[in-house]
Homo-oligomer: A and B are copies of this chain.
Amino acid sequence: MHHAADILLTLFVIFIAAQIGAEIAQRLKLPGVVGEIAAGCVVGPSALGWLTPEQILPGTPLDVLAEVGVVLLLFSVGLETRLDDLKKVGKSAFLVGVLGVILPFGCGALWAHGEGFDWIKSLFVAAAFVATSAGITARVLQELGVLSRVESRVILGAAVIDDILAMLLLGVVSSLQGGGELNLQSLLLTLAGAVGFVAIIGWGGTKVMRRGSGWLEKPISPHSPLTLVLALCLGLAWLSTRFGLAAIIGAFLAGMIASETRQREDLEHKTLPLLSFLTPFFFVITGAKVNLSELASVDALVMLAVVTVIAIVSKLAGGFLGALALGNRSATIVGFGMVPRGEVGVVIASLGLAAGVFNERVYAIIVAMSLLTAMVTPPVLAMLLKRGSTAET
């Protein structure tokens, strides 16, 4: 009973902190999500300590709530995305995805080697520079109501490709690091599995849903269309992890499939309260993971600044070059949209720490870089998109 009481207090604190943070951010003309992440820093272990480091470890109740929150967020983004719209930007999205992986990986490896890591370890460090976290950008695009813009579609398509490539890269780097030989066959199998999963679910699921969404309308339970697509969302989120992809990729595909049904608008409407309740946990906990104390030296801050600049510039350049066909302004928006690393960088950094590839300080710096990119992106993106829309009208 006391345990239940403690967790309720924690949920209350997180939820209130998120609301206050979002409110302050909005008064400062920043996206609400910046305020939620900052609120996480404030209530987290580094500052007020209302959340302990143990409470936000992987597999804890708060971590699971955060995971469910970001899964639902990407599901709702999928609900606002049609496969046909995504297909139209396929080429740009592919280029953005590929260049957005190659440039940060290359720059990251060069930096790490310059810092004295051997080449194999450098490749591992570089992997943490790669994976874009679609959650933060998606939330900003949703907050601004611009998910139907061409830049948004390029970003979302590229995020899927980005995740596939990042997953492969991590596989390669881990096996090199583990001293194993590079098995080209198993690598191609992994690639085929991931691409096959996305293609079959995204393309096949959409086809099936377009033809037969009538069965969703039969009232088998009071809120059946919603519960059925939520089940689909949880199921595909899990399944995509089985193919080595992030859970949010499966959730996004589930939303995209559900967007083909006639209940699309009703579903979008009903998903909003779920987002209001659950996504704050994701963003607050993301913020709480920054360990400010490891960064309390000039050396560390300089290194953090360098790493963050490399991470931002290399991703921005990759995205910009990939989307150049859309024009300079749109390519800039796409480039910045790919910048946030968020929790994916954190996960890779944790693996690196556990494998002994680098020490606590490099770990703290990579985590802080991941989160800094997540905090820098929303205001820049909001500014670019708002200016863009003013210019259009």
Give the B-binding residues of A (Cβ under 8 A).
Answer: 1-5, 7-9, 11-12, 15-16, 19, 22-23, 26, 32, 58-61, 63-65, 67-68, 71, 143, 220-223, 226-228, 230-231, 234-235, 237-238, 241-242, 247, 270-274, 276-277, 347
Contacts and interface: CB of A to CB of B under 8 A. Distances in A.
Given A1-B241, A22-B221, A231 B16 contact: yes
B58 A3 contact: yes
A15 B226 contact: no
B276 A230 contact: yes
3 pairs of A and B residues whose beta carbons are closest in the complex: A5-B241, A61-B64, A8-B238
A108 B32 CA distance: 55
Contact of A221 (B16, B26, B59): B26
Contacts of A272: 223, 270
Contact of A247 (B4, B59, B235, B237): B4
Q: Most chain-B CB neighbours within 10 Å: which of A26, A32, A238, A247?
A: A238
A231 B12 contact: yes
A277 B60 CA distance: 20
A73 to B, nearest CB: 14
Contacts of A8: 67, 71, 234, 237-238, 241, 247
Nearest to A60: B61
A4 B22 CA distance: 27
Counting every copy of the chain, the complex holds 2
A272 B226 CA distance: 10
A224 B32 CA distance: 13
A22 B230 CA distance: 16
A202 to B, nearest CB: 19
Given A60-B61, A247-B5, A276 B223 contact: yes
Contacts of A71: 8
B65 A64 contact: yes
B221 A32 contact: yes
Given A1-B241, A26-B220, A143-B222, 11 more contacts: A3-B58, A4-B247, A8-B71, A8-B234, A12-B234, A23-B221, A26-B221, A226-B273, A227-B277, A270-B272, A274-B277
A343 to B, nearest CB: 10
5 contacts: A12-B234, A15-B231, A270-B272, A270-B273, A273-B274
A244 to B, nearest CB: 9
Contacts of A143: 222
Contacts of A11: 68, 234, 238
Contacts of A58: 3-4
Contacts of A238: 5, 8-9, 11-12
A8 B254 CA distance: 14
Q: Most chain-B CB neighbours within 10 Å: which of A3, A8, A238, A241?
A: A8
Contacts of A270: 272-273
B15 A67 contact: no
A76 to B, nearest CB: 11
A227 B65 CA distance: 16
Given A8-B234, A59-B7, A241-B4, A223 B15 contact: no
A231 B8 CA distance: 11
A133 to B, nearest CB: 14
A71 to B, nearest CB: 7
A222 B280 CA distance: 13
A220 B274 contact: no
Contacts of A26: 220-221
Contacts of A276: 222-223, 226-227, 230
A283 B238 CA distance: 22
